[in-house]
Amino acid sequence: MKFTEEHEWLRPEGDLVVVGITEHAAQQLGDVVFVELPELETQVAKGDEVSVIESVKAASDILAPCDGEIVAVNDALVDSPALVNEDPLGEAWFFKMRIDDMSVLDALMTEDEYKDFIA
Amino acid sequence: MADGRDDPSLKRTVLHALHTELGAKMVPFAGYEMPVQFPMGVLREHLHTRAAAGLFDVSHMGQLLLRGNGVAQALESLVPANLQGLAEGRQRYGFFTNDAGGILDDLMIANRGDALFLVVNAANASADLAHLRDGLPGVGIEPLDDRALLALQGPQAEAALAALIPAVADMRFMDARSLDWDGASLWISRSGYTGEDGFEISLPAARAEAFARALLDRPGVAPIGLGARDSLRLEAGLCLHGNDIDAGTTPVEAALTWAIPKSRRASGGFPGDAVILRQLADGPPRRRVGLAPEGRAPMRAGVALFDDAGTQVGHVTSGAFGPSAERPVAMGYVAAEHARPGTRLLGEVRGKRMPVTVSTLPHVPHRYRT
């Protein structure tokens, strides 16, 4: 699993990448009450605002971590936004992407590097 | 993430050490370092208050006493409420108006017999004090900097407080009494800012921590931060000065005319009376209304509201997810012709216009002990 400075995690799954937010991000947001997912089969560029999380405190954007196509979204989050607080690294994945160049993952942080980043 | 810890320009309430001990996340608010949430988190703190009892530190709010002959009549020149008719041991909601009919601040006024006891918003406290000194020559005005203020709210508030002070069980909504606890004089009113039954308790700062600990030891009582205070008051349809009412909104526009009694409508005699009495007769150009967004996305302060034709007709002044309502809740101002409950409008969230229905307030029924 790799991590971004925007507090997202990326997990390779075959030729796809699963994307979610980190436990640290979920804690900072507080109780999540609304999730808006990206549209399926859209091409996105790194840094695009593709998804929105609303917590009891505020709205936050989720950015596309790299260039690629959204090929799956986790509809369970729409009905149960609290999953983001309960299991951010597992059940509360946001979307899956087919990315143009898997080697971009190499440049992202490892778990240890991310822990140092948020320390 | 920015927080207010260790910022020397911020004031602290006398309960600061207790908040820290309880694991509060502190943030700057109205010049104070205040607990926005405790480890329970905003959502559960909100639900806990409606299910059991929540203890709030609101010591940042301004407390003051007004004394002197004819003080109630004098204060009526700044506040369009019936204060001469306010019985000893009773409290009333009111507001300071300006010459344009706008609301400078809203406040609670209690008749203590020998004095009127005022509680004003923290952010406006120094302006209110200047306004009172300016407007009420000859009245003794005493800011109370040595008193803390706590609120205990929720269906188990009475049991928790009565365990320490049995006489509170006899109080009803908006009663205000002085009662002793362990040698300290507590000024207690049966009121609050959550829509629940509960109490607001002014007490000597030196005794506040011991009293707060005694309450927290009672079954059902948990510490609650400003985050849940805001979602609770929003569900209850109560205004936050600076968001939902301000110097540019009149009490008529703000749907607060219930606080202006007939006796004050007949003759005026308060700042902005011409504007306010004319709006009472002819209707205001816009009204504060409840708003129920139809989807799951909260519509927060600043969201623009449009009619079917795409004309902007208002905006949201407070909005969030309502934990008890289990849906987004909001309030805001809309042009008078769109203010009827049931009217469908569109609110623009992140560039998308989403349906929202004008509703009555409160979003969650009040449960006062009337």
Boundary (domain end) residue, out of B281, B306, B324 = B281
Asked if A34's CB is within 8 angstroms of B321's CB, the reply is: yes
Q: Express each pLDDT in A34-55 by its tens digit.
A: 999 999 999 999 999 999 999 9
Same domain, residue pair B301 and B209: no
CATH fold for the domain made of A2-101: OB fold (Dihydrolipoamide Acetyltransferase, E2P) (2.40.50)
- For residue A112, the tally of other CB atoms under 10 A from its CB is 9
Sheet holding B103-111, edge to edge: B91-97, B103-111, B116-120, B62-67, B140-143
Spell out where chain A has E strands. Answer: 2-3, 8-13, 16-21, 32-36, 43-44, 49-55, 59-63, 68-73, 95-99
Query: In chain A, which residue's Cα lies nearest the Cα of B296?
Result: A34
Q: Which residues of B touch A28 (CB under 8 A)?
A: 1
Taking contacts as CB-CB distances below 8 angstroms, the residues of chain A near B298 are 33-34, 54, 59
pLDDT recorded at residue A101 = 87
> Closest approach of chain B CAs to the CA of A62, in angstroms?
13
Please give the pLDDT value at position B2. 43
Give yes or no for a contact between B57 and B212, defined as CB atoms under 8 angstroms apart.
Answer: yes
Identify whether residues B357 and B265 lie together within a single domain: no
Q: Which residues, 6+ apart, have CB-to-CB distance to B313 below 8 Å?
A: B305, B306, B307, B334, B335, B338, B345
- pLDDT value of position A58: 84
Q: Which of B281, B311, B340 is the last residue of a domain?
A: B281
Does residue B300 share a domain with residue B269? no
Q: Which residues of A touch B297 (CB under 8 A)?
A: 34, 36, 52, 54
If you measure CA to CA, which chain B residue comes closest to A53?
B297
The residue from B281, B299, B319 where one domain ends is B281
Structure tokens at B285: 């150009």
Task: Count contacts between A and B (CB, < 8 Å).
Answer: 42
Smallest Cα distance from B320 to chain A, Å: 7
Beta strands A95-99 and A16-21, pairing class: antiparallel
- Contact (CB<8Å) B1/A28: yes
ipTM above 0.85, yes or no: no
Note which residues in 144-203 of chain B have CB less than 8 A from chain A: none
Distance CA B113, CA B99 (A): 30
Answer whether the bond into residue A38 is a cis peptide, omega within 30°: no
Select from A36, A52, A56 the Cβ nearest to the Cβ of B320. Answer: A56
Across the interface, which of A28, A33, A52 has its CB nearest the CB of B350? Answer: A52
Q: Are residues B241 and B327 in the same domain?
A: no
Range of the domain at B359: 285-370
CA distance A50 to B362: 35
Nearest 5 degrees, angle CA B333-CA B338-CA B242? 5
pLDDT at position B50 is 98
Rounded to whole angstroms, how far apart are CA atoms B176 and B156?
Answer: 19
What's the mean per-residue pLDDT of chain A?
Answer: 94
Cβ of A56 and B321 within 8 Å?
A: yes
CB atoms within 10 A of CB B161: 29
CATH number of the structural domain spanning residue B346: 2.40.30.110
What pLDDT does A26 receive? 95
Which residues, listed in sequence order, are joined to residue A72 by a DSSP beta bridge?
Answer: A96
Q: Find residue B120's DSSP bridge partners.
A: B62, B107
Statement to judge: residues B176 and B135 lie in one domain: yes
For B350, the closest chain A residue by CA position comes to A52
Classify B351 in phi/psi space as left (phi over 0), alpha (psi -120 to 50) or beta.
left
Give the B window 293-312 contacts with A, CB below 8 Å.
296-298, 300
Checking if the pLDDT of A21 tops 80, the result is yes
The whole-number pLDDT of residue B4 equals 44
Distance of alpha carbon A3 from alpha carbon B23, whole angstroms: 28
Q: By the CB < 8 Å criterion, does A78 face chain B?
A: yes
Report the C-alpha gap between A33 and A80 in whole angstroms.
8
Contacts of B296 in chain A (CB under 8 A): 33-34, 78, 81
Instruction: Say whether residue B320 is in contact with chain A using an 8 A CB cutoff.
Output: yes
Helix (H/G/I), strand (E/B), else coil: B164: helix
Chain A interface includes B347 (CB < 8 A) = no
Query: Residue ranges per domain, chain A?
Result: 2-101
Low-confidence ranges of chain B (pLDDT < 50): 1-4
Q: Is A57 on the interface with B (CB under 8 A)?
A: yes
Query: Do B334 and B237 sit in the same domain of this protein?
Result: no
Question: Does B262 contact chain A (CB < 8 Å)?
Answer: no
For B286-300, give the DSSP string: EEEEEEEESSSS---
**Does the beta-carbon distance from B300 to A57 stay under 8 Å?**
no
* Interface check B231 vs A, CB under 8 A: yes
* Contact assessment for residue A32 and residue A76, using Cβ atoms and an 8 Å cutoff: no
On whether any CB of chain A is under 8 Å from the CB of B319, the answer is no
Between chains, do A57 and B42 touch, taking CB under 8 Å as contact? yes
Query: Within this chain, do residues B238 and B370 fall inside the same structural domain, yes or no?
Result: no
Q: What is the pLDDT of residues B310-344, one digit of tens each?
A: 999 999 999 999 999 999 999 999 999 999 999 99
- Closest by CA to B9, choosing from B22, B28, B24, B34, is B28
The single residue listed with the structure tokens 């289990």 is B326
Question: How near does any CA of chain A get to the CA of B309, in Å?
Answer: 27
Residues of B in contact with A81 (CB under 8 A): 296
Q: Which residue matches tokens 């000065």?
A: B241
A56 → closest Cβ in B42, B296, B350: B42
Note whether A118 contacts B: Cβ–Cβ < 8 A: no
- SS3 at position A13: strand
CB A57 within 8 A of CB A33: no
As a whole number of Å, the CA-based R_g of chain A is: 13
Identify all chain B residues contacting A58, using CB atoms and an 8 Å cutoff. Answer: 300
At CB < 8 A and 24+ separation, what contacts does B136-141 make? B136/B66, B136/B71, B136/B74, B136/B75, B136/B77, B136/B78, B138/B68, B138/B74, B139/B66, B139/B67, B139/B68, B139/B71, B139/B74, B139/B75, B140/B65, B140/B66, B140/B67, B140/B68, B141/B64, B141/B65, B141/B66
What residues of B are in contact with residue A52 (Cβ under 8 Å)? 297, 350
Using a CB–CB cutoff of 8 Å, tell me whether B74 touches chain A.
Answer: no
Report the number of distinct structural domains present in chain B: 2
Cα A97 to Cα A62: distance, rounded to the nearest angstrom: 14
B322 and B218 part of one domain: no
User: Measured in Å, how far apart are chain B's first and last C-alpha atoms?
Assistant: 43
Please, are residues B331 and B361 in contact by the beta-carbon 8 Å criterion?
Answer: yes
Chain B's closest residue to A35, CA to CA, is B297
- The answer to whether residues B260 and B127 belong to one domain is yes
